Amino acid sequence: MTSALNESGLPIEPVYGPEALEGWDPQARLGRPGAYPFTRGVYPSMYTGRPWTMRQYAGFGTAAESNARYKQLIANGSTGLSVAFDLPTQMGYDSDEPIAQGEVGKVGVAIDSIEDMRTLFGGIPLERVSTSMTINAPASILLLLYQLVGEEQGVKPGQLTGTIQNDILKEYIARGTYIFPPAPSLRLVADVFAYCKHEIPKWNTISISGYHMAEAGASPAQEVAFTLADGIAYVRAAVASGLDVDEFAPRLSFFFVARTTLLEEVAKFRAARRIWARVMREEFGAKDPKSQMLRFHTQTAGVQLTAQQPEVNLVRVALQGLGAVLGGTQSLHTNSFDEAIALPTEKAARLALRTQQVIAYETDVTKTVDPFAGSYVVESMTDALEAEIGTLMQRVEDLGGAVAAIEHGFQKSEIERSAYQITQEIDGGERVVVGVNRFALDEEEPYEPLRVDPTIGEQQTERLAKLRAARSAGEVTRALDEVKRAAEGSENVLYPMKEALRACATVGEVSHALRAVWGTYVPRDAF
């Protein structure tokens, strides 16, 4: 019998036995659930007390349309909202700017001002709903809009719970929705940490993301290594700004993918927790156990979904979701089966949520903590992945850390190499994709996708025109000048940004005020 290779290029043996764990110290490698090094999970009881937060990533078209979808998801049992923003919003542009033409409301909801945010969360009790927002470069702006809407609802800032992604470093590596250069971007991240510590204490200030690296082709080892390296860079930036590590680290969170390779994914999550706990304790001297915990959200692998025989994606998503749960995730989004074709329909989104509910309430995997603990294969995989992740993290350190490695193009080139290898394996038939390169149909059944109203851009432009006509132009100008002044100095920019947004400045106007001071990032390969 010969060994196969897993997604990270490490051998998988046909048979594992006691010799795989020879000399293995369970106490040092495992510990107890909820205790250092958190291999077995960040909480002592994990899902035996309550299941993970069930989020469904949603947002399209106008704020009113997305609001209706959120209410449907809550009615169907979703315990947390996850907001998708359109591309102009992600890039800090208003819907009426020329660069936004043709993209308004397409891949998420269009949010231009506090008026849109009011509509998005109208009738949704923000003191009872946890909201995750997938937004990075303008994350601080969207968070402040959310806080302002909460205040209008009478919700105290201390009652607001949720997460902003706010992970700008991975945008330079794998996704591309950056605005500012790395240095001011890191300053903005640190300002968010400090602001939330005082103003929104229960908010998770960052979701350090490996998901988008995985979607770009990163192996599981690369996904974790580059994500944790980014996490180290954020912690260093916050400490350098004067924050004590135990003041902000308990609010850090992470975001990973769950692939169909269930065993490796379980091992990946366990290895990631162990490495992060060690880094926080040994490098940063974190004393609070909450600072050492790697808490993470998981999304099933969109890149593994196929437009061919899309119903097969229901099976893929169920396996991916199961892997995330067995790996100890704190919240989970299950993709809809039709997302390889278009935005998910209401029925497809409901089925995706029902997948999580079946795992939570109809299986026995939630009855015990860390079901794979002591497994010859999973413990061996966990150790092997930990070693491989450590090697990659050291390569990043040797280049001067995450930011310097980004400037060298290291992470991007490594991920591109992995993506190319995956493509070659699929094209050559070595990697089976059911319905694509094996078990294909001669003719696909027709499928009617959800379509976005093409006039959304015009609707948003009209809303912006009315907003600008009704607000005090002088007040907005003065507020934006204060944003620029703060950006030029060293004070926390979120406080003047909040006042500008309260005065009805738009997302694009606040972003442009910061652009005027900090400039925009141009990648090296753009020259």
Same domain assignment for residues 478 and 408: no
Residue 20 lies in a domain: no
Regarding whether 390 and 474 lie in a shared domain, the answer is no
Do 357 and 485 lie in one domain? The reply is no
Q: Write down the pLDDT at residue 527.
A: 40
pLDDT of the residue at 2: 67
Count structural domains, the chain: 2
pLDDT value for 526 = 47
The whole model's pTM is what? 0.94
pLDDT value at position 3?
77
Positions of the chain with pLDDT lower than 50, given as ranges: 526-527
What's the chain's length in residues? Answer: 527
From CA 79, how far away is CA 131, in angstroms rounded? 9
CB pairs under 8 A, 24+ apart, for 513-516?
513/480, 513/483, 513/484, 513/487, 514/179, 514/180, 514/184, 514/188, 514/483, 514/484, 514/487, 515/92, 515/179, 515/180, 516/484
In terms of domains, do 384 and 506 share one?
no
Q: CA 8 to CA 16: how far, in whole Å?
A: 19
Flag whether 128 is in a domain: yes
Q: What pLDDT shows up at residue 393? A: 98
Whole-number pLDDT of residue 451: 79
3 state SS for 36-93: CCCCCCCCCCHHHCCCCEEEEEECCECHHHHHHHHHHHHHCCCCEEEEEECHHHHCCC
- State the virtual CA torsion across 74, 76, 77, 78 in degrees, nearest 10: -50
479 and 393 within one domain: no
pLDDT value for 235: 97
The answer on 138 and 208 residing in a single domain is yes
Partners of 254 in beta bridges = 208, 296
Q: Is residue 13 part of a domain?
A: no
CA 36 to chain centre: 24
Rounded-to-integer distance, Cα 105 and Cα 459, Å:
11
Element (H, E) at 270: helix 262-282
pLDDT value at position 80?
86
In a domain, 6, yes or no: no
For residue 207, the surrounding DSSP H or E stretch is: strand 206-209
The answer to whether residue 99 sits within a structural domain is: yes
Predicted confidence at residue 418, as pLDDT, reads 97
Q: Which of 428, 445, 474 is where one domain is finished?
A: 428
Cβ atoms within 10 Å of 462's Cβ, excluding its own? 13
Give the range of the structural domain holding residue 392, as residue numbers without chain letter.
40-428
Domain stop point among 428, 448, 464: 428
Q: Indicate whether 526 belongs to any domain.
A: no
Q: Are residues 461 and 420 in the same domain?
A: no
477 and 345 share a domain?
no
Residues in a beta bridge with 255: 209, 297
Residues 147 and 202 in one domain: yes
Q: Has residue 448 been placed in a domain?
A: no
**Spatial distance between the Cα atoms of 366 and 348, rounded to a whole number of angstroms:** 25
Residues 166 and 274 in one domain: yes
Predicted local distance difference test score (pLDDT) of residue 395? 98
Pairing of strands 4-5, 11-12: antiparallel
C-alpha pair distances (Å), 334 with each of 156, 351, 370: 31, 9, 21
- Output the CA–CA distances (angstroms, integers) from residue 304 to 272, 308, 314, 340, in the order listed: 22, 11, 11, 9
> Where among 411, 428, 445 does a domain terminate?
428
4, part of any domain: no
Q: Looking at residue 48, which CATH number applies to its domain?
A: 3.20.20.240
